[in-house]
Amino acid sequence: MSTPAKGATKKEKKKPIPVKTSLNSPYSIHWSPLEREHKHFILNTLKVKLSAVGLQKQRVNRFREWGSRRRSRKQASKPTEDQKPAPEPAESVQTPSKPTEPGWTIPTARKQLAIGINEVTKGLERNELSLVLVCNSVRPAHMTCHLIPLSKTRSVPACQVPSLSESLAGLLGLKCVLALGFKRGAEVFEDVVRAITPVVPPLKVAWIPTDSTAKAEEKLADALKGQKRKLEEMSDEATDASPLILQPLKVKKIIPNPTKIRKPKKKGKQKKLII
């Protein structure tokens, strides 16, 4: 007699359906629009300053013949009598110099800038930047949305400049410049920050009042004078503060959890009829 297969008795387990959870924020965060005149002024100011400073990334192209490393190893392992080098004194032995690596023409000026989204984000988190400029060619656009609340809470002027990457990438020797930040106390770019800051439009964040940054600075200054005065100011601000209008949360679609294990319904016992 043929025995039934082992896998036939067991129920086949269904493969779990892959589910991705995505949370949509009820707040609509966007960059404040920049006027055309201010856009040309910012780009021209940056071009003139970068060309005058001469900051650029140097790239060194290295060419190596195939098999040259293997030949050099063979020659080093098995030298002939004629090729054996004469013993040199210890004083004349010099360490081999490293090949030139790609770098920046002016390292001190490069340290005063934050280039790229990652560097700008770290600089804002550490409160090291005084001005932030972002290109509008970033795709997807939400890659730079987190810079808006970071700049607002640190009271750092920030704006989105069209064609920023196209204008500055060639001057800096880079493929693209999606974000550019100027660090605090930058001596080389101090005049650029002073010229561009009054032109930058203010950012609007729904959950942060417009005067929150100014009030925070006043609180820090007055906290050193006395605790009593600080409590009085906080009570006055609580009465004068305008209530925030929050946007309602919209639920687009509710999907049941497919990985949930549901117990089968128990069938009622059927009564047997006795005849």
The structural domains of the chain, ordered by start, are 36-55+105-199 (3.30.1330.30)
Q: What is the pLDDT of residue 141?
A: 86
Counting every residue, how long is the chain? 275
Q: What is the pLDDT of residue 103?
A: 83
Does pLDDT of 72 surpass 90?
no
- Which amino acid type is present at position 52? A
The mean predicted confidence, pLDDT, of the chain is: 76
Give the C-alpha separation, 152 to 150, whole Å: 5
Q: What is the pLDDT of residue 128?
A: 93
Q: Is the dihedral of CA 222, 228, 229, 233 positive or negative?
A: positive
Are residues 164 and 43 in contact, defined by beta-carbon separation less than 8 angstroms? Answer: yes
**What is the per-residue pLDDT across 207-262, written as a single tens digit (0 to 9) for each?**
877 654 455 556 545 544 555 454 455 555 544 544 555 666 677 777 777 777 77
Give the C-alpha separation, 83 to 173, whole Å: 45
Q: What percent of the chain has a predicted confidence (pLDDT) above 70?
A: 61
Q: What is the pLDDT of residue 27?
A: 77
User: What burial class does residue 180 get, using C-beta atoms within 10 Å of its C-beta: 0-12 exposed, 13-18 middle, 19+ buried?
Assistant: buried
Listing DSSP states for the chain in one string gives: -PPPPHHHHSPPPPPPPP-------SS---PPP--HHHHHHHHHHHHHHHHHHT--EE-------TTHHHHHHHHHHS--TTTPPPPPPTTT--PPPPPPPPEES-HHHHHTEEESHHHHHHHHHTT-EEEEEEETT-SSGGGSTTHHHHHHHTT--EEEETTHHHHHHHHHT-S--SEEEEETT-STTHHHHHHHGGGSPPP--TTS-TTHHHHHHHHHHHHTT-HHHHHHHHHHHHHHPPPP-PPPP--------TT--PPPPPPPPPPPPP-
Does pLDDT of 151 surpass 80?
yes
Q: What is the pLDDT of residue 20?
A: 72
Taking alpha carbons only, the member of 24, 29, 26, 25 closest to residue 151 is 29
Does pLDDT of 188 surpass 60?
yes
Contacts 24+ apart (CB under 8 A), 215-222: 217/155
Is the preceding omega at residue 140 within 30 degrees of 0, hence cis? Answer: yes
Q: Of 44-58, 62-76, 227-241, which range is least confident?
A: 227-241
